[in-house]
A and B are shown apart, each in its own frame.
Chain A
Amino acid sequence: MSGSAQITVESVSHTYRPARGRAVLALEEVSLAVAPREFVALLGPSGCGKSTLLYLIGGFLPVEQGAIRIEGAPVAGPGPDRGVVFQHFALFPWRTVRANVRYGLEKLGLARDEQERRAQAYIELVGLKGFEDSYPSQLSGGMKQRAALARTLAVDPKMLLMDEPFGALDAQTRSLMQAELYAIWQRTPKTVLFVTHDVQEAVRLAQRVVVMSARPGKIKATVDIALDRADPHIYRSAEFAAKVDEIWGLVRDEALKAQ
């Protein structure tokens, strides 16, 4: 484990115990270190425990075996240092876009006008100007995820934990959101842990792709991605295709097993 890591996962195992049915070993002996400002994708078929790992780091589930440390301190519950974005947006439906984005700022105890100013800045950052007073039920899927992203970014977390954030969006919107997330990450570098089952998405965004195997969830391989993302044609290059093929080869067996 590197001493400079921001997120350290050491030999974590986790058993999922449903109210009915038998217990399932969701994670087995998983170790991972993520450096500050690194963009890491957790890739694997459904049921490989990648979301469980994210929830453990987020502090939503108790660490039963092994240890998870954030900047050296064991995780003890959720906190605003780790911003979370969920697949189904998790916006508060009774709050407008503005009030959703303001929520974390209220909890920080900021003055009202400072809350408004910062909420407005992040709403504009994600391109939702003009929709401040809309309720989530009045927005499209892509707009909902933009609002959720603004809400998370507004409290300026050091780390972003993203659980298949674009999985519920159509292909065009997903592609746009990927480009925007990448641009935001470049402007305000944060540590990003990005869970996905989409190989292209992982290669497109991450500096490092962690491939997980299913049942029990283990880390199968780690692949570094060094692409020149400033080049707009990079995603149609042979280099990009080769990386996707390499990782797809690693994932395919797992995906077949998971069926």
Chain B
Amino acid sequence: MKYLPLLLLALIWEAVVQLGLVSRDLLPSLSDVAKAGWTLLREGDFWTNGAASLYRGSAGLALAIVIGALAGIAMAWWRAVDALVGPLVEALYPMPKSALIPVTVLWLGFGDGSKILLIFLGCMLPVTLGAYNGARSCEQALVWSARSLGASRLRVLWDVVLPAALPEIANGARTALALSFVLLVSSELIVARAGLGYLIGFLGEGGVYDAMFAVVLVVAFLGFFADRLYQRLMDRLLAWRA
């Protein structure tokens, strides 16, 4: 019921093309797009390119979340780390991450490595900032309680500071998830030999617009689905919050 407007949009799309209000060269009909999508699915193009994108996206994002969270907590915990890394984070945060595309290609070539590095670098900072703020807001009394119950200084980071920072890390990671789609598809569009972004570019240049639209729709759906899945996971993981 909530998604009724989407259904409406689909109907309008089909109607304006069928009625000839919009040229088929600019917008293929939804039914043609669906047919082209089905062909891509049957012939395996979706699967090979989708697998390449999934691998790059999840590897880059996993690195960004783990290393980003560790960096943020270390910054919050050790003043020296903050002094060293803090200014870098501040300076790099507003940089448009797509500017790194040619740089990572120069370093690691056209394959998976450059995409993973790009997503890692581009998605790390929101997680780092979340972890930093979350760890800074950790109550002193919680840390002291753990210490007086026998936890070592380092153990407290894992037992108390990390879980206390988790809600903020989760917010940062959600931003990172959205960013990873942007970076993945745009880097594959520009320089790649596989991936969903590559497939969009390849079909577009070949003039196969119905198939191109099919891939664009799939990417949009995957982004939506990933965000939904992520929220479900976090609701479960952060169930302890009031």
For the complex of A and B, the 3 pairs showing the least CB-CB separation, nearest first, are A107-B150, A104-B149, A90-B141
A interface, size bucket? 20 to 34
The yes or no answer to A151 lying at the interface (CB within 8 A) is: yes
A60, A78, A92: the one contacting B142 at CB < 8 Å is A92
Query: Roughly how many angstroms separate A104 CA and B145 CA in the complex, as a whole number?
Result: 9
The yes or no answer to A108 lying at the interface (CB within 8 A) is: yes
Counting chain B CB atoms within 10 Å of each CB, which of A55, A83, A86 scores highest?
A86
Q: Are the C-beta atoms of B241 and A137 separated by less than 8 Å?
A: yes
Q: A88-B141, A135-B240, A137-B240 are in contact. Are A94 and B148 (CB under 8 A)?
A: no
The yes or no answer to B139 lying at the interface (CB within 8 A) is: yes
Task: Give the residues in chain B near A206, CB-CB below 8 Å.
Answer: none
Task: Give the residues in chain B near A66, CB-CB below 8 Å.
Answer: none
Query: Roughly how many angstroms separate A82 CA and B163 CA in the complex, as a whole number?
Result: 25
Q: Which of A53-109 contact B (CB under 8 A)?
A: 55, 58-60, 77-80, 82-84, 86, 88, 90, 92-95, 103-104, 107-108
Task: Give the residues in chain A near B145, CB-CB below 8 Å.
Answer: 84, 86, 90, 92, 151
Task: Give the residues in chain B near A107, CB-CB below 8 Å.
Answer: 149-151, 155
Q: A86-B141, A88-B141 are in contact. Are A93 and B148 (CB under 8 A)?
A: no
Q: Are the C-beta atoms of B148 and A83 separated by less than 8 Å?
A: yes
B147, B155, B240, B241: the one contacting A77 at CB < 8 Å is B147
Give chain B nearest CB distance to A40 CB in angstroms.
19
Q: Are the C-beta atoms of B149 and A90 separated by less than 8 Å?
A: no
Interface of B is mostly: helix
Task: Give the residues in chain A near B239, CB-CB below 8 Å.
Answer: 135
The yes or no answer to A34 lying at the interface (CB within 8 A) is: no
- A sample of 21 cross-chain residue pairs with beta-carbon separation below 8 angstroms, ordered by A number, consists of A59-B147, A60-B147, A78-B148, A79-B148, A79-B150, A80-B150, A84-B144, A84-B145, A90-B141, A92-B142, A92-B146, A94-B163, A103-B159, A104-B149, A107-B150, A107-B151, A107-B155, A108-B150, A135-B240, A151-B149, A155-B150
Q: Are the C-beta atoms of B240 and A90 separated by less than 8 Å?
A: no
Q: Which of A121-174 contact B (CB under 8 A)?
A: 135-138, 151-152, 155
Query: Roughly how many angstroms separate A252 CA and B147 CA in the complex, as a whole number?
Result: 36
Give chain B nearest CB distance to A145 CB in angstroms.
13
A80, A95, A137: the one contacting B148 at CB < 8 Å is A80
Q: Are the C-beta atoms of B144 and A58 separated by less than 8 Å?
A: yes
The yes or no answer to B234 lying at the interface (CB within 8 A) is: no
Residues of A that sit less than 8 Å from B by CB? 55, 58-60, 77-80, 82-84, 86, 88, 90, 92-95, 103-104, 107-108, 135-138, 151-152, 155
The yes or no answer to B26 lying at the interface (CB within 8 A) is: no
Query: Roughly how many angstroms separate A95 CA and B159 CA in the complex, as a whole number?
Result: 10
Task: Give the residues in chain B near A155, CB-CB below 8 Å.
Answer: 149-150
Query: Roughly how many angstroms separate A228 CA and B174 CA in the complex, as a whole number?
Result: 62
Q: Are the C-beta atoms of A78 and B147 separated by less than 8 Å?
A: yes
Give chain A nearest CB distance to B27 CB in angstroms.
50
Task: Give the residues in chain B near A108, CB-CB below 8 Å.
Answer: 150
Residue interface mask B140-184, A partner, CB < 8 A = 1: 011011111111000100011001101000000000000000000
The yes or no answer to B88 lying at the interface (CB within 8 A) is: no
The yes or no answer to B242 lying at the interface (CB within 8 A) is: yes
Give chain A nearest CB distance to B166 CB in angstroms.
7
Q: Are the C-beta atoms of B144 and A60 separated by less than 8 Å?
A: yes
